[in-house]
Amino acid sequence: MMTRLIAALGILALALGLAGTASAQSSSRIYDPSSKTWISFDPEKVERDATARGRVTPERFRRTLVPFRTSEPPGTIIIDTDRKYLFYVLPDFQAIRYGVGVGREGFGWSGEVEVGRKAEWPTWTPPAEMIERDPDSAKYAGGMPGGPDNPLGARALYLYKDGRDSLYRVHGTNEPWSIGHSVSSGCIRMNNEDVIDLYSRTEPGTKVIVLKQGAALYDPTS
Amino acid sequence: MRRTVRTALAVGILATSALPVRAADVVIGVGDWPSAQATAHLIKAIVETRLGGTAELRSGATGELWEAAGAGEIDILPEVWLPNDRTQVATHVDGSHAVTLLSRGVPARQGLCTTKQAAEAFDIRSVDDLRAKQTADLLDTDSDGTGEIWIGAEGWNSTRIEKIRAKSYGYDKTMTLIEADEPVAMAGIDVAASLGEPIVFYCYEPHHMFALHDLVMLEEPAHDPTTWTIRSPDEDPDWLEASTASTAWAISFIHMAHRTGLEKDAPKIAALLANMDLQPDAIEDMTYALIVERTPPEDFARAWISANADRVDGWIED
């Protein structure tokens, strides 16, 4: 998916005849948890492609107020991981619809969880598997401080199941172009301005329903 | 109260039996679907406000509730769906006679639904359409080449029968049959309706979803009992292969059931159950109030009793 996406963006960039303006960085590899392999990642090309699209989230994934008839109470969050939308239920059968990006390794299940805690400019700790394969990430083994380069972005909601951290998060991203796609890392990602908006509406204990139509009920032990 | 004294005496006499000592006069089993919760709360409120008794609610999956009723731990099953619970009725009603099934039945419908919008926009009209690749593609949300259909919660008898129906019609080859808790499935329908995306799912009526969304049942051949052979895992390990159901569900009925002997231990409560004649629209209104409007069930039950005092009076025998 990532390769196809980058390829598609590249074609678009060529078609529009736009040149990239990103800061030059050397090509590198990123860890793909789905295949558990390292894949080529050219940040310069990604920046160039995103620039071609105006570096914005595709229109249909932008924050929108929509009609939403549901029996879930206002305040509930419903995430459709297949269609890449997050709904925040409002009174009177309305919802705020946000676009999300979904990690390819994440959410192979559907079910109910809750917001266990939330954080501003959260610390990011790379998974042990990533540290093992990428010595460069070892410097963050104790946690990378929050900030513009932190992959969790501006805010994070930590999802808990039966009082325990499920290790899944809804978090921000500094790469708005990635919204609406399955990207190579990380849980549920939202634009920073969207996750800040959602964060301001959400308290610990908020019910979160995760939908993955092709998956059975959530079972953290499976 | 008298019932408590009698229970205490009975427990003393049957000291070696497994009869539990209860805090309430009756224990009501509450199934994990909305209308069962509505009727259970209504019975509890009538027992407590009109009959001067006490009632306790005990939640559980269908199989657990039937086992508990068969063991005498649950006195009332507010919603026994037929033909869904046929196997448990054979065991606990016709077999051991531990449970008495009341004859009055509320008519109900079951089948596969889609939204009216999806039926018109995507031309999904009948169960035959589910075998078509075009429909499978429309309902394929995870790009695995098959569509997805919610067939009910794990443990429901209807879920097992929906598997048999999928096999018999042949759409088990084109669709992934999803079992999930009802609230998760309902949220999926809410999302599909909001986005105008197609969705097909197991549905039953009375249910508040028919008031929440504009739903239509998929067309299928009328029920023909000669096409239905339903085996349960208890009867046959190869139940799926041994079963067939290639026409629509029969008109279903929701019955009340109670522990055999309740009519002697608590005759007024037993009479209440025998007399209650809830209609499908009343049950749908109840589930809408409880689930969609989120009225606390105790408040709802008391308000309903006040608003329908004459009907409730007719259910109570002096």
Is A171 catalytic? The answer is yes
Identify which of A171, A152, A157, A161 has the alpha carbon closest to the alpha carbon of residue A204: A157
What is the percent of chain A with per-residue pLDDT over 70, rounded to a whole number? Answer: 63
Is A181 catalytic? The answer is no
| Domain ranges (residues) in chain B | 2-108+253-315, 109-245
pLDDT tens, position by position, B147-156: 999 999 988 9
Ordered domains of chain A (ranges, CATH): 1-55 (no CATH), 60-137+145-217 (2.40.440.10)
Interface test mutation site (partner B, options A61, A64, A71, max chain B beta carbons within 10 A): A71
Contact state of B148 with A83 under an 8 Å Cβ cutoff? no
Asked if pLDDT for residue A123 goes beyond 50, the answer is yes
- Report the CATH superfamily, name and number, of domain B109-245: Glycine betaine-binding periplasmic protein; domain 2 (3.40.190.100)
CATH of B2-108+253-315, one of 3.40.50.880, 3.50.50.60, 3.40.630.30, 3.40.190.10: 3.40.190.10
Residue B162 one-letter amino acid: E
Asked if pLDDT for residue B296 goes beyond 80, the answer is yes
Q: Which of A87-96, B3-12, B284-293 has the lowest mean pLDDT?
A: B3-12
Phi, psi of B112 (to 5 degrees): -110, 135
Strand (E) or helix (H) holding A183 = strand A182-183
Contact state of A216 with B193 under an 8 Å Cβ cutoff? no
Measure the CA–CA gap between B123 and A222, rounded to whole angstroms.
38
Q: Which of A163-172, A184-193, B43-52, B276-285 has the lowest mean pLDDT?
A: A184-193
Encoded tokens for A199: 């964060």
Cβ atoms within 10 Å, residue B129: 22
Is the omega angle on the peptide bond into residue B297 within 30 degrees of 0, that is, cis? no
Asked if pLDDT for residue B14 goes beyond 50, the answer is no
Encoded tokens for B261: 């002997």
Residue A18 makes CB contacts below 8 A (sequence gap 6+) with: A48, A51, A52
Cβ atoms within 10 Å, residue A64: 13
Residue B255 one-letter amino acid: H
Give the gap in angstroms from C-alpha B292 to the nearest C-alpha of chain A: 4
Encoded tokens for B216: 């239509």
In this chain, the answer to whether the domains covering B2-108+253-315 and B109-245 adopt an identical fold is: yes
Residues from chain B that touch A90, judged by Cβ atoms under 8 A, are: none
Catalytic residue among A104, A155, A161, A171: A171
**Could you say which of B141, B195, B197 has the minimum Cβ distance to residue A214?**
B141
Q: Percent helix, strand and coil across chain B, each rounded to 5?
A: 45, 20, 30
Give the gap in angstroms from C-alpha B51 to the nearest C-alpha of chain A: 33
Give the gap in angstroms from C-alpha B33 to the nearest C-alpha of chain A: 13
